[in-house]
Chains A and B, each alone.
Chain A
Amino acid sequence: MKEEKDYIRDITEIRSMMERSSKFRLLSGWAGITAGILALIGAFVAYYILDFNPGEELQISGITPLNSLVVKVLLLATVVLISAIATAFYFSYRKASERGEKIWTPITRRLLTSMFVPMVVGGILIIALLMNGLIGLAAPLTLIFYGLGLFSAGSHTLAEVRFLGLVEIVLGLAATFMVDYSLFIWAVGFGIAHIVYGIYIYIKYEK
């Protein structure tokens, strides 16, 4: 016959199993911090070195052909995106091996699916807009669709991710009204917000 402490352990086990099998717990605060720094570097390079200003681009004629500057900024954005994703994977992978867990589980697949559906839709839409010369809306839309991705992925991982998603969506919507400042707002959303989120996650769960 089981005793009281056995039943208490049963309950602990049930709770931990439900948590483990329904939430992705391998997110690292460092991934957020690194992504934020990369985004800030990207925005800095775009503004000061490539001399890119989406507001100006939009004001000159409303429609900008896909010139070499836009292509350079696109390449830069792609490099930033890929390195941010790669570092996030690296930190999750490291956390998984520290805990002796596998990274590729059904919950990881669910997390990635709910994250990437809005992001791929947004990505294709942005490419279409760029090809039609609507450069000014690209930065706000990356914020909005990234935010939607985080918001839907948030139900499979830390609640903070959902909140970060909302922050990105609000910033993105604000940027559509203030295209002049959209690069700056982009830097706040992808840079500052990520760093603040990363530090918060690190202090709350990893320290």
Chain B
Amino acid sequence: MIPTEGLHKAFESRVRLGIMSALAVNDMLDFNSLKDYLDITDGNLASHIKALEKEKFIGVEKSFVGKKPNTRYFMTSTGKKAFKSHLDALEKFLESNRKH
């Protein structure tokens, strides 16, 4: 049985799951750090970030380091809730499978 309750469609992609996991344990991360952790291209990462932003799971903070623009991402409370219920659903699913 595959559960659907609590599992969020946005987290079906492993990259998005990775972004959320990294932001769960870091207050803020910039684009390049995320890129290093996930080891993917700029375009690929940007599109996944955009999708998560659209769901309002992550927020953006733009600032300047000297003259260079610096974009940092953080997890919103909506994102935290969704991520947590996704993890809970995964846990429940694996637990129920173990019993069978």
Counting from the closest, the 8 A-B pairs by CB-CB distance are A17-B21, A22-B25, A21-B22, A14-B21, A18-B25, A17-B18, A18-B21, A102-B36
Is B94 touching A11 in the complex (CB atoms < 8 A)? yes
Q: Are B94 and A21 in contact (CB under 8 A)?
A: no
B36–A105 contact, CB under 8 A? yes
The answer to whether the Cβ of B37 comes within 8 Å of any Cβ in the partner chain is yes
Query: Which secondary structure characterizes the binding site on chain A?
Result: helix
Q: Is B87 close to A, CB under 8 A? A: yes
Secondary structure at chain B's binding surface: helix, strand, loop or mixed? helix
B47 at the interface (CB under 8 A from A): no
The answer to whether A18 touches B17 (Cβ under 8 A) is no
In the complex, what distance in Å separates the CA atom of A21 from the CA atom of B34? Answer: 9
- Indicate the size class of the contact surface on chain B: 20 to 34
Q: Which among A13, A14, A17, A20 is the interface contact of B87 at CB below 8 angstroms?
A: A14
Residue contacts A-B, CB under 8 angstroms, 5 given: A4-B2, A4-B93, A10-B90, A21-B33, A102-B36
> Given that A11-B94, A106-B26, A106-B29 are contacting pairs, would A20 and B14 also be in contact in the complex, using a CB cutoff of 8 Å?
no
Is B41's beta carbon under 8 Å from chain A? no
Q: Which residues of A contact B60 (CB under 8 A)?
A: none
Q: Are B33 and A106 in contact (CB under 8 A)?
A: yes
**A residues in contact with B22, CB < 8 Å:** 17-18, 20-21
| Segment 16-60 of B: residues with Cβ below 8 Å from A | 17-18, 21-22, 24-26, 29-30, 33, 36-37
**Measured CA separation A14–B84 after assembly (Å):** 12
Sample of 10 further A-B pairs with CB below 8 A, known A2-B12, A8-B94, A9-B14: A4-B97, A7-B93, A13-B21, A14-B87, A17-B22, A18-B24, A21-B25, A21-B37, A22-B26, A105-B36
